[in-house]
């Protein structure tokens, strides 16, 4: 066991981990932050997406000890300080960008990293960026709409088939 310390959603945290402890396991079981979902555990689905030092990563494909000293952000850190939904989260709700909600934490984290890098993405750029995030419910159109709306663009033309 080794001690790891990191900042998660602005709060300093630490814990004992084994070499094999995944970042996703540390967040969910060590810190009780179960908003980070495990859909596949095989690097395919993106449900476990979090930000490490501002970059989106699959937390099931990184060891907790590799995040020692890092700034980590999870879905629990996305709402506004007063508890209201952030612009991206609100856009998912407004545009029906979720159904069961299982993929949503990963989608929101991926969308946030896209918009941080590229504040006005095109529809094609949104789709390209979300390639690693699977959704089994929505058919993606409303997710793309939500991300475009969150960027302040008119999402009206995207077909909601």
Ligand X SMILES: Cc1cc2nc3c(=O)[nH]c(=O)nc-3n(C[C@H](O)[C@H](O)[C@H](O)COP(=O)(O)OP(=O)(O)OC[C@H]3O[C@@H](n4cnc5c(N)ncnc54)[C@H](O)[C@@H]3O)c2cc1C
Residues found near ligand X in the complex (CB under 6 A): 43-44
What tokens appear for 97 in the block?
Answer: 């960008």
Distance of CA 7 to the CA centre of its chain: 16
| Structure tokens that stand for 142 in this block | 């409303």
Of residues 13 and 52, the one with the C-beta less far from other proteins: 52
d(CA 42, CA 61): 8
- Which one of residues 55, 136, 139, 152 is an interface residue with other proteins (CB under 8 A)? 55
> What radius of gyration, in Å, describes the C-alpha atoms of the chain?
16
Shortest Å, Cβ 81 to other proteins: 27
The answer to whether 110 touches 128, Cβ cutoff 8 Å, is no
Residues forming contacts to ligand FES in the complex (CB under 6 A) are: 38-41, 43-48, 58, 60, 98-103, 135-138
Residues forming contacts to other proteins in the complex (CB under 8 A) are: 2, 18-20, 22, 41-44, 46, 49, 55-58, 61-63, 65-66, 110, 113-114, 129, 131-133
């Amino acid at each position: 066991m080794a001690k790891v310390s990191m900042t998660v959603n602005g709060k300093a945290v630490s814990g004992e981990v084994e070499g094999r402890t995944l970042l996703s396991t540390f967040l969910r079981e060590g810190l009780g932050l179960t908003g980070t979902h495990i859909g596949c555990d095989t690097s395919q689905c993106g449900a476990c997406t979090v930000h490490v030092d501002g970059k989106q990563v699959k937390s099931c494909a990184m060891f907790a000890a590799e995040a020692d000293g890092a700034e980590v952000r999870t879905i629990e850190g996305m709402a506004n300080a007063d508890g209201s939904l952030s612009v991206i989260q609100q856009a998912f709700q407004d545009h029906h960008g979720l159904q069961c909600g299982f993929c949503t934490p990963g989608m929101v984290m991926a969308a946030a990293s896209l918009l941080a890098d590229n504040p006005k993405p095109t529809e094609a750029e949104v789709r390209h960026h979300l390639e690693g995030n699977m959704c089994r419910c929505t058919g993606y159109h409303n997710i793309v709409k939500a991300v475009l709306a969150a960027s302040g663009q008119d999402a009206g033309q995207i077909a909601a088939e």
